[in-house]
Amino acid sequence: MILNELVMLSNVYGSNEELVLAGGGNTSAKDGDVMYIKGSGTQLATITAEGFVKMNRAALADIFTKEYPTDDEAREAQALADLDAAKMPGEEAKRPSVETLLHSLFPHTYVLHVHPALVNGLTCSVNGKSAAEELFGNGFIWIDSCKPGYTLSKICYDKMTEYKAQNGKDADMLLLQNHGIFLAADTVDAIGDKLADVMSKLTGALVREPDFDSGDYDGEKAQKCFDVIYELYGDDAVITYEPSVEALRFAESPETASAVMKPFTPDHIVYCKAEPVYGFCQACIRGAVNEYLDKNGYMPKIIVISGCGFFAVDLTPKGSETAAMLFNDALKVATYAESFGGALHMTDELSDFITNWEVESYRQKQNV
C-alpha cells in the first residue's frame, strides 16, 4: 500500500516539469523497519515499484554514529559502502539514490526531494536565507551550500537534531542552498499541500517571470554560428538552438551573461558542464571553444552568443536536448533570483568537487 502510494506520488510530481527535470529529484517512504528509496538511474516520472530500493532503517541510522575519514575520497567511498550494506536482502543489484541518507533523517512516512527552478531562484540567491525566513517563518531549516554525499547528510542530521530540541517538533522542510528542497509528511496529500504552499508563496514574491517566447534574434549570425559549431564539433554534432527572449536578454553582453556563466546546482554541472562559453560572434566562438578545450580537456556543451541566444551541443539528440533544458532551467533560476537579491552561484571549489565526483559522473552516464 505505502509503496503503491509512493509510486503514484513519484509519477505525479516527476511528470511536472516545473518540479523535476531529467533524472533529478527523488522520493522515499517508510514502512516499519524499512525505507523505500528511488534507485539511482531511474526517473520519477516513469518509476515503478521495482525502481525503488528497500533499505534497512536501523542500518541507515547507524551510519550517523560512525566516524569517517576527513579525506573526501576515502570518506565518500566508506559512506557509500555502508549505504550499500544497508540494503535489504534481495536488493543487491540495485543502487540507492545518493541522497538516501537525507531521506532517512525524517521520521515522516513520505519524503519528496526536488530541485524546482522556482525554489532554486531562492536557494541560489544572495538574500535566499533571509527571504525564506520572511516567507516561511521558522517552518524550515536552511542548509548552507556544502559538499554533497555524507558531508551534506551529516550537516542536516546535526541541524535537524538542533531544530527538534528548539522547536519540540521534527523539521519537515529543508531548503538546501544551491540545490533544492526536501519536504516530509505522513500522507501523500499533506506533501501536496505543503508543496503548493511553498510554490504559491514563492510566486507571490517574484518581481519578474522569465519569458521563453521566441525573441528577435540575428538569423544570419545564428546560421554562421551553426556552421562554425559543426566545424568544431564534427558533422555528427546535435545542436539545440534557443533564441528565446530570455536567452537573448542574458546573451546581450558579458555583464548580463555573468548571471549564468557559472553553475547554480549539481544538475547544471551534470547536464551542461560547469561552465558555458560566451562570444559576440562566430569568429570569437572558435577561439573561445578551443581555449575552453585546452583548459578543461572537454568541449563545452553550452555556447552563449550575443544577439543569438544559446546553442546546446552534444553528440546525441537526448544529450543536446537535456543540456538545453537544464540551461533554460539556469536562465529561470537566474531570473527568479533577481527577486531575492540576485544570483548566487556554487563556489568554484564545490563545482570542481561535483565535476570530479564519481556519483555524479554515474548519473551523467545514465543520462536520465
Q: How many residues form the binding site for Zn ion (CB under 5 A)?
A: 1
Q: How far is the CB of 232 from Zn ion (least distance, A)?
A: 33
Tracing cell 554541472 back to the chain, one arrives at 269
Whose Cβ is closer to Zn ion: residue 180's or residue 276's? 180
- Would you state the cell numbers that stand for residue 342, as one nine-digit string? 540576485
Q: How far is the CB of 211 from Zn ion (least distance, A)?
A: 27
Q: How far is the CB of 176 from Zn ion (least distance, A)?
A: 7
Site mask for Zn ion (CB under 5 A), range 136-175, x = bound: ----------------------------------------
Going from the C-alpha of 166 to that of each of 140, 144, 181, the distances in angstroms are 13, 19, 21
Q: How far is the CB of 303 from Zn ion (least distance, A)?
A: 27
Whose Cβ is closer to Zn ion: residue 180's or residue 243's? 180
Whose Cβ is closer to Zn ion: residue 114's or residue 225's? 114
Tracing cell 563545482 back to the chain, one arrives at 351
Q: Which amino acid is at 337?
A: A
Task: Put residue 234 in one of left, alpha, beta given phi > 0 → left and psi -120 to 50 → alpha.
Answer: left
Q: How far is the CB of 266 from Zn ion (least distance, A)?
A: 7
Q: Which residues contact 260 (CB under 8 A, 6 or more apart)?
A: 250, 276, 304, 327, 330, 331, 334, 343
Whose Cβ is closer to Zn ion: residue 320's or residue 322's? 322
Whose Cβ is closer to Zn ion: residue 225's or residue 354's? 354
Query: Does residue 177 contact residue 142 with C-beta atoms inside 8 Å?
Result: yes
Residue 277 and residue 302: Cα distance in Å, rounded? 6
Whose Cβ is closer to Zn ion: residue 175's or residue 225's? 175
Residue 272 and residue 312: Cα distance in Å, rounded? 8
- Would you state the cell numbers that stand for residue 280, as one nine-digit string? 559576440
Whose Cβ is closer to Zn ion: residue 241's or residue 264's? 264
Find, among 366, 365, 347, 364, the residue nearest to 147 by Cα.
Answer: 347
> Which residue number places its CB atom closest to Zn ion?
180
Residue 233 and residue 47: Cα distance in Å, rounded? 35
Q: How far is the CB of 208 from Zn ion (least distance, A)?
A: 26
Q: How far is the CB of 157 from Zn ion (least distance, A)?
A: 16
Q: CA torsion, points 86, 87, 92, 98, in degrees to nearest 10?
A: -80
DSSP state of 345: P
Scan residues 174-193 and list those touching Zn ion (CB under 5 A). 180
The residue ranges that bind Zn ion (CB under 5 A) are: 180
